[in-house]
Structure 1
């Protein structure tokens, strides 16, 4: 299984490659990030790291360390990014979970494993007691991951003009 790593500055090239390679795949189920995301990627990456330093968000990447695009997963080097798992809007023991997995890695249990690992990390390292999540109703894979990992439905919403569902999971 890929290693779950807290986002670092040296992840930028592999993360940008991941986002570019999977842009059309992601846009089929979630709103597209837009061209500005890619043209301003380095600044955005630096902003994410600054935000993470405040403790308001924790951004993670899933890195293949078995001969990925840039080598080993030791400090200062990264392998191929095959996913992202983020905790945002951290406050009062709660955060919102978001994740995306590369098309070539989809359907292999990676998202389920990553969400399980982030739940443990959120409780044990970040001191969180609950996670929230949301997805469009037509994103059956994401809904299945949330349900398999202990999230329960809390309501219905609109996400980019599409029907969606909200979820919550209490962490122990």
Structure 2
């Protein structure tokens, strides 16, 4: 069983293992993070936590029963009721529906907890697995894009509600 949870300081060691072990797998479908990312990982992790505390991003990890990080699902550039979705899952965790379940859960959180009404995503044309996750979770293609020099596709999912107003904070 897997568990989606907000990124915390104590996730850093398992997250670094996840990124290192899957680096070449990820690089086959998304731009590589580069050596500097790994050399400065702990500094970067603290910066992500600061962005999350400021409310400009919402970072999540998907862990297994043993605490191993199996995936990441993030909402970045949170503003005006919208955010950009990004996710990646360990090679050994693919094909089990984890990405689909986690993206669904993050979209539910986006609407119910974070007050978002729109989530956008971009993937490369050749990333069939990512396109399938987006289609299964209610995203619709909105046209072409370029992702680090590669042809891509933009997607959007409308969550409903009013931009920037969390359902839990609405006047009664």
Alpha-carbon RMSD: 0.6
Give the structure 1 partner of residue 63 of structure 2: 63
Instruction: Give the unaligned 5+ runs of structure 1.
Output: 69-78
Give the structure 1 partner of residue 30 of structure 2: 30
CA distance in 2, matches of 1:7, 1:61: 6
Query: TM-score, normalized by length of structure 1?
Result: 0.92
Q: Deviations over 1:124-162 (max 9, x none)?
A: 010100100000000000001001110001110111211
CA distance in 2, matches of 1:143, 1:114: 15
Report deviation, 1:106. 0.3
CA distance in 2, matches of 1:31, 1:6: 24
1:164 counterpart = 2:157:
no
Secondary structure at 1:120's aligned position in 2?
helix
Q: Give the alignment partner of residue 90 of structure 1, picking from 74, 78, 81.
A: 78
CA distance in 2, matches of 1:12, 1:161: 30
Give the structure 1 partner of residue 13 of structure 2: 13
Q: Deviations over 1:15-66 (max 9, x none)?
A: 000000000000000000000000000000000001111000000000112x
Instruction: Give the unaligned 5+ runs of structure 2.
Output: 161-172
Give the structure 2 partner of residue 72 of structure 1: none
Give the structure 2 partner of residue 76 of structure 1: none
Aligned length: 160
CA distance in 1, matches of 2:124, 2:56: 25
Q: Deviations over 1:82-106 (max 9, x none)?
A: 0000000000000000000100000
1:105 counterpart = 2:100:
no
Secondary structure at 2:10's aligned position in 1?
helix
Segments ≥4 residues shifted beyond 3 Å: none
CA distance in 2, matches of 1:2, 1:102: 13
Secondary structure at 1:150's aligned position in 2?
coil
CA distance in 2, matches of 1:38, 1:81: 16
Query: TM-score, normalized by length of structure 2?
Result: 0.92
